[in-house]
Amino acid sequence: MLAVNFGLILVSYRIFGKTGLYAWTPLAAIVANIQVVKLVELFGTTATLGNIVYASSFLVTDILSEMHGKKQAQKAVFIGLFSLVAMTVLMNLALFFTPAPDDFSQDSLAVIFGFMPRIAAASLLAYLVSQMHDVWAYDFWRKRFPGLRFIWLRNNASTMVSQFIDSTVFTVLAFWGCFPPVFGADLLDHLSAQMDCGAWQTPRSSTWPGAGMTKEKYPGRPEFLMRLLLSHG
């Protein structure tokens, strides 16, 4: 699943350039909120399948920040936020329509899109806070540690903390007071899965083919992303 996500990002950037990364941001946000209802085993912990595609949105904003600047990355975040709000409103409005007698999709749609207001609000706020922090943090570390040989530091320092923020904000707002015996365990499992997904999106600087290059040598070139993605794992 991780390889498929990274491959699709590569194809999107290769074909559409910066616009492709903008398109991936709302796609990842919407798909992650659909896949969140499916529980799977990720890296030895029980987590939602949506953690994988959601983690890819941090990679996209980091690439935008690295290649096109902080403002472009922030623009992608707001595009993703708008798409989440629009989807939540439209799909919940759809659930209010009385289904026809031979309809078979109402119950399934209600399971996927009928989020309680508290969970929906927690998801939106966690997305906004964590993504904005990721953009700010990546730009912060890029100014202090420029050059491709430090890209692993910029990516880890921004993504890991942002995923901690996302997990904490969502879990606290969505479930605080609801499941006290397992609240801490759920938070740790959710955080562990996100951290593991994030770690796989970080290039190894010691073996990365692009180490030592300057930004002037790869402005806007898809080969940069290809090298970055091929160095994962």
Q: Write the CB contacts of 54 (distance below 8 Å, at least 6 apart in sequence).
A: 28, 29, 32, 194, 197
Give me the pLDDT at residue 233, please: 34
- Rounded to two decimals, the pTM is 0.75
Helix residue ranges per DSSP H, the chain = 2-16, 18-35, 50-68, 70-96, 106-113, 117-144, 151-175, 183-199, 222-230
Give me the pLDDT at residue 34, please: 85
Digits of tens for pLDDT over the chain (233 positions)?
778 888 898 889 889 989 999 999 999 989 988 887 787 776 666 667 777 888 888 889 988 988 889 999 999 999 999 998 999 899 989 999 999 999 999 998 888 888 767 777 888 899 999 999 999 999 999 899 887 778 778 888 888 888 888 888 887 887 776 655 444 545 555 555 555 454 545 544 333 333 444 444 444 444 444 445 434 33
d(CA 218, CA 216): 6
State the burial class of residue 134 (Cβ atoms within 10 Å of its Cβ: 0-12, 13-18, 19+). Answer: buried
Q: What is the per-residue pLDDT across 144-179, written as a single tens digit (0 to 9) for each?
A: 988 777 877 888 888 888 888 888 888 788 777 665
Give me the pLDDT at residue 62, please: 87
d(CA 181, CA 71): 42
CB atoms within 10 A of CB 184: 11
d(CA 90, CA 88): 6
